[in-house]
A and B are shown apart, each in its own frame.
Chain A
Amino acid sequence: MKLLVSDLTDDQDWLLRVAGFDRTRERGVETLLTVGHGYAGTRGSLEEGSRASLPGTFLAGVFDPIHQVPDPPDSPAEAPALVVAPNWLALALQIDDEWLSLDEQGLALEHERVLDMRHGVVVRHWRHRQQSGRTIELTTLRCALFLTGADRHVFLQRAWIAPEMGGGRLRLTAALDGRVTNALRPGPPLVPVRSAATPTPVLLLRTPRSHILLAMAQSCSLRGPGLVDSRREVPTHRGAPTGGCPYIRGPGLVDCRREVPGQHRTQTEPLRVVESWEWQARSGETYVFERLVSSFTSRQVADPAAASTHHVLGLVGLTATSSDVEQAGDLTPQPAVPEWARRGKGEPPPPSPTRGGGQGGEVRPWLTGVRGATASRLLDEHQERWAERWRAADVQIVGDSVAQRALRFAAYHLMIAADPEDEHVSIGARTLSGEAYRGHVFWDVETYMLPFFIFTWPAAARALLMYRYHTLDGARAKANRMGYRGALYAWESAATGHEATARWVRTPQGEVIPIFTGLRAHHVSADVAYAVWQYWRATADDDFFLRAGAEIVLSTACFWASRAERDAQGRYHIRGVIGPDEYHERVDDSAYTNAMARLNLEYGRETVAWLRQHHPRHWQEMSDRLDVNDRELALWSDVVQRLAISDDPRTGLIEQFAGYFALEDLDLRAYEPRTAAMQVLLGRERIARTQVIKQADVVLLCHLLGDRLDREVIARNFDYYEPRCDHASSLSPSTHALLAARLGRLELARRYFHQAATIDLEDSMGNAALGIHAAACGGLWQVVAFGIAGMQLAEDGLAFDPHLLPGWRSVDFPVQWRGRRLDVAIQAEPAQVCFRLSGEAGPLWVRVGSGPKVPLRPGEMARIDYRGSGPAEAAAAELGGE
């Protein structure tokens, strides 16, 4: 059985291994080992449970209001929080009267969990000596299956149970357990609607306040030398996929032909369904448990219990009768599952106007597509989908295996958080791996995560931006409520786009402090518009821009035009905001905010010009609907020209906000070493009177403005702001690594890269327990693409300015660009960049440093020299076919 774990993959850079069991770190480990597929994420908790554990499955878009604590009069009494869904992993093993547990009984002789990022599975190997002296070996596998036909509703769990010494009476229980609650802010539990044992165990619950129905149905089997599942035929061997990871094939050792009776029963309770098996086990024999779980919510289908039941039975090749389905599914007054889905074949419904989670939408075609497939075949599909994903996204580094693993870890967690099929959800700050930040969506998505998706998974990027389109009404409502026109996106957004930021928080010092970001952090609107523009530039997805992107850009531009105040001298100001640096909570003319607002207005004008030229009827309709007339456009132009951004032509420094340079200039080095953020140590009011900044602000702006700023200006601002930055945000180190790399400060870049990479992997800030820092993951990819490779977007091509980090011999990564795939390989010795273009679209030019543009046609390669550090210069270009 050990082989099953040790043979995960030959390349250790794909694996994240966690040996032993450390109660203090367990919750952080659970975060790291999350599996998911965009529809759901499941933390890497122990199957049998533990007092150190914080298990959780989170379903994208499933929020429920919880009470805000504290609750001053002007604070909304409730805010949406991501709901903890039933635990589908719960698996407990009892030998005679002794439960297998890491908490108290016996001794763990071996215990290791491994996240295989390449295949998207978590495998656990555990040898345990019970108090009674018996030793048992347990190997488990779990994954959220990526399946063909965009099916993201299935989870798989397998367990190999091998008593080593002294067999005994084994009792195995596998539950769908709805007795779960949010750990951070416990609210009312899920409301039981129905649990049923037939035709297959299914659990249907409802969120208490938002009334979303959640269903899970499972199909389990237990096989072994003396056991056979009494309900269905058991194959003697499972098919072995070619080229896959060996453990997925299962033991293949188990002779399932002999049948001896075992006891199986299913117990239903209001909040859970428990299947149990009991049999006499013998030493040296292996028993294999397998569970497929299907889950739907009323966000996808009208009748999630029926859909889950159909789906899971279809997966294992069984068909439910009509009465079975009615028994499982006739649970709500909502419409039943359509006939085509009932039959398990037939035509899928016509495409809906929007994809994914509208309330009570149509059943999707995948319900019919996988019927009859075995679990092994599903795993084959799962591997193939993962292989596709990695072909599109993998960054390969030679010379730094720590960085290699960190980048794969970042990409893995980003990919399991996204669902290109659901336009009504985005990625919460901590993904679906934990409940911190309540699943709320911040500007992190557009500014930090989206570039990864734009260049590796455009369909996912599009869905994320469509979420912003579908939440425009919430943004308009917020702008209107605050007395502005257009759309002001919520600082914290959930299902509807209405502002979800708490107004107050009680700190452990006992203070109740106000939270201002929901009121003043307006830059998020410009960040969304910027992201729309970058996506459009990179993909040329005119359909998206016409249907959704243009409206986002125009609506946010309207907001900025109304937000800017004109002074007596005719200059415009944006007053009373919070920029990315949230240590200064009410500033005027934040350079970041104003510069991004100006870009937003410029994009607005370009959008109008494009619509007028290419889609005049569409423009007319939109112009009328959004009230964007010539007068409005004139205002946009005026604001663009006269919006205050303070920069000193002598020094090249951009003042972060009006009056920043006059603040006390604290030397942060004088406070080291320290164990908390500067705001904690100095206090909120004191820190606001200093130039200490929380996170990258002007430095971030220097990155986003790209080639609009001279390299010298970027360098001067980086040198000024970097020593003043507290990095009290997980968003900060990656931005500094990016800029440092671009400027050739490679040792500094390496240090910041490491800081960004270890936030979760080493829990370096002690707050990984409640979820992955998704922005740091996205930022890490950006360090490679925009910092180390120095990639810049241009019309019809891409420019590069490579700066490999110390010790890196090469870095290779693919990017998607307007329907083409460009493979980029940068090597240190000789200092060369190799490009290879593929795809059906037309040619593309690439440029390295200040060298000439080199045209590339599909199928062509180019090898271009560059110089190691400083501004790269193309020394020679060599073209060739593949």
Chain B
Amino acid sequence: MDQRRLILVPLDGSPASRTALPAARRVAEIVDGEICILHVREQPSGPALGAPIPSLPSPPTPLPVGQDQERRRGVRVAHAASAATLTSQLGLTAAETASATLVEAVGAPATAIVRTAQERHAWLIVMSTQGERAWRARQLGSTTAAVIQQAECGVLAIRPDMPESRRSLASLARVLVPLDGSPGAAAAVALAADLVKRTGARLDLLHVATLHKPPPAERGTMVGPRYLDQPGHEWSAWAQEFLRRFEPLPQGWCALPVELHTAHGDPSEEILRFAREQGSDLIATAWRQTLALGRAEVVKRLLAEAPCPILFVQAAHP
């Protein structure tokens, strides 16, 4: 029997961070997954890093983490705390933690989140774009940015200022996947398709032809069409091949309701416009994990302005 998919929800006790929880529950419901709530303390005060805290009413069996392993990493061991106390500290109700595993870790928050996700083989991290400090500064949280850059699994980022109905993924009828034409982007399609096939949502693939920007250098990249010899023929041929480039999808993906759209201009502008006009419920995007200055401008803008949650998937390496 397959192991249930683990959805890790890091919380820091702020109202902003808690906005991720409804979406996490929704995703868990869709994929029949289990939720693991992670609290990272920046000072030692609890049990060993990654150790489970008994949850109410009956916690699932936690994955053991060896002490030696922890020491090698230089992470301080936290003291045990009760689930009820932690629930309270995080500003949650007992109902909100029902059926969830609560885990506490100590260390740099981003590092601890990423490591816990690795150790527990998390399928997805669901977190707010802003924690306590960032919420006050009205900017993308450094922890969120670091997690997006380092996580090996997908990261679903929820902006707290979205309406509750949007950020909770109450409706998941249309999933938008922007594609820059690089084969690595197929990773986002695969994950999105996995969600879509369980909800009956429609998958909108959007390619934005760009000006003043070279195409991705990845081998097998397909942009354009640069040649449009005879539009009557070339559009359909181009569209078919563009779709087929994203072959590494779950079997049966062809049966999914997939629509290919094109636009031209500034990618972030066009993606946002599409998402607003078409009422996208989720944007899934593959990227190459750097938010350094001058890079990932599209991602940064989507994080700041997207009308719906964004699912980040590490781009597949060719």
Contact = CB atoms under 8 A, between A and B. Distances in A.
Nearest to B265: A681
B225 A24 contact: no
A492 B234 CA distance: 14
Contact of B227 (A26, A509, A730): A730
Interface in B238-286: 238-241, 244-245, 247-248, 251, 260-265
Contact of A438 (B227, B233, B261): B233
Given A675-B213, A680-B209, A22 B232 contact: no
B261 A515 contact: no
A681 B229 contact: no
A501 interface: yes
Given A674-B210, A675-B181, A681-B211, A728 B236 contact: no
Most B-side CB within 10 Å, residue of A185, A436, A440: A436
A23 B245 CA distance: 7
Contacts of A582: 230
Interface string A661-688: 0000000000111111101110000000
Contacts, number: 150
Interface in A745-793: 759, 765-767, 769-770
Interface stretch (B52-60, B103-111, B134-142, B215-223): B215-223
Contacts of A437: 230, 233, 237
A43 to B, nearest CB: 14
Contact of A728 (B183, B229, B265): B229
Interface string B192-225: 0000000000000001011111110001111111
Interface string A1-42: 000000000000000000000111111000000000000000
B267 to A, nearest CB: 10
Q: Decide if the interface of chain A is mainly helix, strand, loop or mixed.
A: loop
Nearest to A442: B230
B226 interface: yes
B239 A508 contact: yes
Contacts of B230: 429, 437, 442, 492, 515, 517, 582
Contacts of A769: 237, 240-241, 244
A680 B214 contact: no
A800 to B, nearest CB: 32
A52 B247 contact: yes
Interface residues of B, number: 45
A671 B211 contact: yes
Contacts of A23: 247-248
A437 B265 CA distance: 28
A505 B232 contact: yes
Nearest to B206: A508
B176 to A, nearest CB: 14
A221 interface: no
B231 A515 contact: yes
A234 interface: no
A681 B260 CA distance: 17
A425 interface: no
A767 B220 contact: no
Contact of A184 (B224, B236, B248): B236
A52 B251 CA distance: 12
Contacts of A438: 233
A-B complex: 4 closest residue pairs judged by Cβ atoms: A676-B209, A24-B220, A766-B222, A675-B223
Interface of B: 181, 183, 186, 207, 209-215, 219-241, 244-245, 247-248, 251, 260-265
21 contacts: A24-B186, A25-B219, A184-B240, A437-B237, A505-B235, A508-B207, A508-B235, A509-B261, A513-B231, A671-B211, A674-B211, A675-B213, A675-B215, A675-B226, A676-B209, A677-B224, A677-B225, A728-B229, A731-B229, A765-B227, A766-B221
